[in-house]
Amino acid sequence: MKRRRFLLPLALPVLAASFLVQCGPSSNGGGGKKPRVAYIGNAIAPFWTIAEKGARKAAAEYGVDVEVRMPQNGATDQKRMVEELLARGVDGIAFSPADPKNQLDLMKTMAQQTHLITQDSDAPDSPRLCFVGMDNYEAGRLCGKLVKEAMPDGGSVMFFVGRAGQLNAKERRQGCVDELLGRPEGERHDDPPDAELKGEKYTVLGTRTDEVDFAKAKSNVQESITRHPDIGCLVGLFSYNTPKIYEAVKEANLFGKVKIVGFDEEEDTLRGIQEGNIYATVVQNPHQYGHESVRILAALAKGDKSVVPASKFVEVPAKAVKKGDVDIFWTELKKQVE
């Protein structure tokens, strides 16, 4: 059953540094302490520097202090960060679980001690109050449509991602697979990430993971190109995957022969679309992820529970950026950065 959605307007992201940030003084002018909330990503990548900017902006607007944490080693670092924040009595956490299945106990502890919401990647089996992000399965469907546009006569497709078990990665991949294999809308399958799947026109070769190791991300592409010389399209599911695909395809002198479709708005991805060497990218809105997460946590910390929709889903819609859209999109993005 499709979830009811609480729609938010799409706003363009803004770049910022990715490290721990304390926004504003620890108390307001009247001497009372501000609520303290935390925004935790699941990796160190440009995507999260954009989200950080949104979190900081919302903290200033809604009168809270925010700490932004970005783990280098996924779930291991996240556990340490959460334990530190809980020990300090933080008033809310916006969490992007790197390993939702194995982090359920951690999220139960978080929910017992503070206000917990998820963002970017969900954990629907956890006691989180709501999820802020896009419908990753539908974004995967959109990605699949772009692959079909890029390769209308059919062919083989390989996926590249940091962690196949992370829910947003799983849903993006599955949405794209279902679209490529011509499965009906609303019929969500659960194919193993390494399975080779054949449809009428498209063959899904599998999924290569890199655990957010950028060097591994590139070598995965190089190995795939060598192993499958007739491969038709390479799909990057995490923000850094598409630039690494671009690098490997360029070095192999395969622009024009191998199609590229990806996610997010890294500079190399947008530049590749301008050149015509990347067909398209599905952009999220990490700035809005950070902003809405902190807005919700600020309200919860002040006792306002009305900010949580009945659906428990605060949607920030995704959209496609292709060559005809990229100049306008990038110009507006740069204005936000200035």
Greater confidence (317 vs 11) lies with 317
- Candidates 289, 231, 241, 234; CA nearest to 263 is 241
What is the pLDDT at residue 335? 64
What pLDDT shows up at residue 173?
Answer: 98
| The two structure tokens encoding residue 114 | 């503070």
Q: What is the average pLDDT across 157-171?
A: 94
Q: Which residues of 295-314 are buried (b: 16+ CB within 10 A; e: fewer)?
A: bbbbbbbeeeeebbeeebbb
Q: What percent of the chain has pLDDT over 90?
A: 82
Which residues of the chain are in CATH 3.40.50.2300 domains? 6-134+285-316, 136-283
pLDDT at 170: 95
CATH numeric code, 6-134+285-316: 3.40.50.2300
Question: Does the pLDDT value for residue 200 go beyond 70?
Answer: yes
Containing 36, the helix (H) or strand (E) segment is strand 36-40
Return the pLDDT at 50: 87
> Is 136-283 assigned to CATH 3.20.20.70?
no
Q: How far, in Å, are 48, 94, 185 from residue 1 at the CA level? A: 31, 26, 11
Closest by alpha carbon to 45, among 80, 81, 18, 79?
A: 18
* Mean pLDDT across the chain: 90
Looking at residue 219, its pLDDT comes to: 98
Tokens 């060497």 found at:
277
Q: What 8-state DSSP symbol labels residue 308?
A: S
**Bridge partners of residue 24, in order along the sequence:** none
The 131-133 sheet, strands edge to edge: 6-7, 313-315, 131-133, 115-119, 92-95, 36-40, 65-69
pTM value is 0.80
Residue 23 has pLDDT above 90, yes or no: no
Q: How confident is the model at residue 7 (pLDDT cuts 50, 70, 90)?
A: very low
Distances, alpha carbon 214 to alpha carbons 177, 227, 239, in Å: 24, 20, 11
- Does the structure show a pLDDT above 50 at 28? no
- pLDDT computed for residue 3 by the predictor: 44
Measured from the Cβ of residue 320, the count of other Cβ atoms closer than 10 Å reads 17
**Sheet harboring 280-283: ordered strands across?**
197-198, 202-209, 155-161, 233-236, 259-263, 280-283, 319-322
On the question of pLDDT at 26 being above 90, the answer is no
Is the per-residue pLDDT at 177 higher than 70? yes
Across the range 30-37, mean pLDDT stands at 79
DSSP code for 83: H
User: Does residue 134 carry a pLDDT above 60?
Assistant: yes
